[in-house]
Copies of this chain bind each other. A is one copy, B any other.
Amino acid sequence: MQKNFQKSRAIYEQIIEGIKKMLIRGEFKPGDKLPSQREMAQKLEVNPNTIQRAYREMEVMGLTESRRGIGTYIKEDGNLVKGIKEEMAERSVKNFKREMESLGFSPPEIKDWLKRIIDLEKT
């Protein structure tokens, strides 16, 4: 049995995750200005340094651009959202697949299950 227990992911990672989801859902668009670090910190009730870290990482990833004295902006890149969406979808699907396989399900069974659940809620 595993000896390492799941720890929660770092808060700054969860923040990046959240911003990516908002991008995907269209709640942020390329070119938009993100809330200031201070504002964000207050809204999320988190230490400003945590926001700083999140914003910095996003810049490193090429997701945002910080303009000193002005603010942080989502990059104006046409394929940005599409890329993130695909990346997150892929990760989600792979996680799901791995989990189902660890439960002993074969790919066809996985599809069956998925179909069952989706059709069930479609009704």
Contacts and interface: CB of A to CB of B under 8 A. Distances in A.
B96 A43 contact: no
Contacts of A14: 5-6
Given A24-B103, A111-B114, A117-B94, A18 B2 contact: yes
Given A1-B43, A8-B8, A22-B1, A117 B90 contact: yes
Given A6-B8, A7-B8, A93 B113 contact: yes
B113 A89 contact: yes
A111 to B, nearest CB: 7
A97 interface: yes
Contacts of A58: none
A102 interface: yes
Contact of A89 (B25, B97, B100): B100
Interface of A: 1-3, 5-9, 11, 14-15, 18-19, 21-22, 24-26, 43-45, 60, 85, 88-90, 92-97, 99-100, 102-105, 107, 110-111, 113-118, 121-122
